[in-house]
Amino acid sequence: MNDIILLKLGEIVLKGLNRKGFEQKLMGNVRRRLVPYGKFKVYCLQSTVYVEAAEENVDMDAAFEAVQKVFGVVKVSRAAPCEKDKDAIARKAIEYLHDDMLRARSFKVESKRSDKSFPMSSIQLSQYVGGELAEAYPQCRVDVHEPELTVFIEIRDLAAYIHAAPVAGAGGMPVGSNGVAVTLLSGGIDSPVSTYMIAKRGVRLIPVHFFSFPYTSQQAKDKVVELARLLTQYCGRMTLEVVPFTHIQEEIRDKCPEEFFTLIMRRFMMRIAEKIALSNGAKAIVTGENLGQVASQTMEAMASTQAVIDLPVLQPLVGMDKEEIVQMSRKIGTFDTSILPYEDCCTVFTPRHPRTRPTVAEVEEAESVLDVEALVEESLQGIERIHVDLEGMA
């Protein structure tokens, strides 16, 4: 008999009105997340989502890892099944919780019965199993008020289940419960982290990458596809929009004053991102900008890039230190890919002396020689869409 996985829901429990919808979203996300590991039954009872094997030979270890990355879950535990008999339950608890019982100095047992035909009440069962555990582990005393360890027993339809301390879930809200946004995904360290952070708030994301072939290589594009694929662990499946950016960059290089190259380029990114957002019902643009990190990330520079669009720009990393961003990128598993050494379009045609405190009027003036609309349209026409999914995800 397989063990089961229990997911404790997070903030969504607080949202009285939307709760059902949020639970449905979460279960859908969990089901999709588990597809690579076999057939599972996923259902929700009293703010807990249950994941049970629905066939032999599912990969329960991989499933347990995977659900820890699904947003909307605060705690995850794995529970051992056993026969619905008080002595079998006590024996199983003694064996399964061996390490936990030796580590803890105090414990209590909490039982729940969804199978009301079980011959003992929850309290009787807790007392019985508590007594057996106390006898087997005399160094661990019973403390019903502030125990270090709580042993949970659930009497369910098919079996009884025993579990102990849960591990932390990913937190946040289920992806898809809070609208859609476009996220600008470069090959750098920052933008995968900003994407992760907004997905955590329940937003479904459409990643957009600006690609300047041949100034940036096929490997640079493959790297972004790989980053998007890694992010699907948290964000669910996504469609990466790869926007051809070469002509725009060449036009800027040939016709505009060098000190404004980066700013004008970033304004084009925003305009194109907004068009993609509007045609997909997305309500914001996410970037990995971080105040003061590079020349284009002063407040004045940000004002000049944001001036060309109406949608809000979400910059979840704006106040973080680089070291904190690096730590997060390691934690979410994108760091090693991000540091592969392929150029991003931002580093092609970098001005020697970029303007850091431009006025919007100066940038507009510098850009006025370009046929902005035609260039934006041309790029939109050339978009390549790449579906990234969990297929084969380890």
Residues that bind Mg ion (CB under 5 A): 186, 188, 344, 346
Q: What angle do CA 319, 72, 323 make, to 5 degrees?
A: 25
When asked if residue 191 is in the footprint of ligand ATP (CB under 6 A), the reply is yes
Q: What angle do CA 363, 185, 307 make, to 5 degrees?
A: 25
When asked if residue 154 is in the footprint of ligand ATP (CB under 6 A), the reply is no
When asked if residue 184 is in the footprint of ligand ATP (CB under 6 A), the reply is yes
Report yes or no: 163 and 133 within 8 Å, Cβ to Cβ: no
Task: State how far the Cα of 42 lies from the Cα of 29, in Å rounded to an integer.
Answer: 10
Task: State how far the Cα of 331 lies from the Cα of 316, in Å rounded to an integer.
Answer: 17
- Of 10 and 207, CB closest to ligand ATP: 207
Residue 161 CB neighbours (<10 A): 24
When asked if residue 185 is in the footprint of ligand ATP (CB under 6 A), the reply is yes
Q: What tokens were used for 78?
A: 């794995």
- Name the minimum Å distance from CB 153 to ligand ATP: 48
Residue 316 binds which one of Mg ion, ligand ATP, none, with CB within 5 to 8 A depending on kind? none
- The residue nearest ligand ATP at its CB is 188
In this structure, what are the phi and psi dihedrals at residue 368, rounded to the nearest 5 degrees? -65, -15
- Of 109 and 263, CB closest to ligand ATP: 263
Q: Using CB under 6 A, which of 37, 118, 210, 261 touches ligand ATP? A: 210
Task: State how far the Cα of 388 lies from the Cα of 304, in Å rounded to an integer.
Answer: 33
Task: State how far the Cα of 302 lies from the Cα of 288, in Å rounded to an integer.
Answer: 12
- Name the minimum Å distance from CB 188 to ligand ATP: 2
- Of 194 and 232, CB closest to Mg ion: 194
When asked if residue 246 is in the footprint of ligand ATP (CB under 6 A), the reply is no
- Of 63 and 208, CB closest to ligand ATP: 208
Work out whether strand 384-388 and strand 238-244 pair parallel, antiparallel, or are unpaired: antiparallel
- Name the minimum Å distance from CB 301 to Mg ion: 14
Residue 345 binds which one of Mg ion, ligand ATP, none, with CB within 5 to 8 A depending on kind? ligand ATP
When asked if residue 196 is in the footprint of ligand ATP (CB under 6 A), the reply is no
Q: What is the phi-psi region of residue 46: left when phi exceeds 0, alpha when psi lies from -120 to 50, beta otherwise?
A: left
When asked if residue 294 is in the footprint of ligand ATP (CB under 6 A), the reply is yes
Q: Using CB under 6 A, which of 140, 346, 375, 388 touches ligand ATP? A: 346
Cis peptide bond N-terminal to 214, omega within 30: yes
| Cα dihedral across residues 370, 372, 377, 382: positive or negative | positive
Q: What is the phi-psi region of residue 6: left when phi exceeds 0, alpha when psi lies from -120 to 50, beta otherwise?
A: beta
Q: Which x/- pattern over 31-70 shows residues binding ligand ATP (rule: CB under 6 A)?
A: ----------------------------------------
Task: State how far the Cα of 27 lies from the Cα of 41, in Å rounded to an integer.
Answer: 10
When asked if residue 188 is in the footprint of ligand ATP (CB under 6 A), the reply is yes
Cis peptide bond N-terminal to 351, omega within 30: no
- Of 91 and 253, CB closest to ligand ATP: 253
- Of 89 and 208, CB closest to ligand ATP: 208
Q: What tokens were used for 224?
A: 């972004």
Report the site for ligand ATP in 274-293 (rule: CB under 6 A): 287-289, 293
Where do contacts with ligand ATP occur on this chain (CB under 6 A)? 184-186, 188-191, 208-210, 287-289, 293-294, 296-297, 344-346
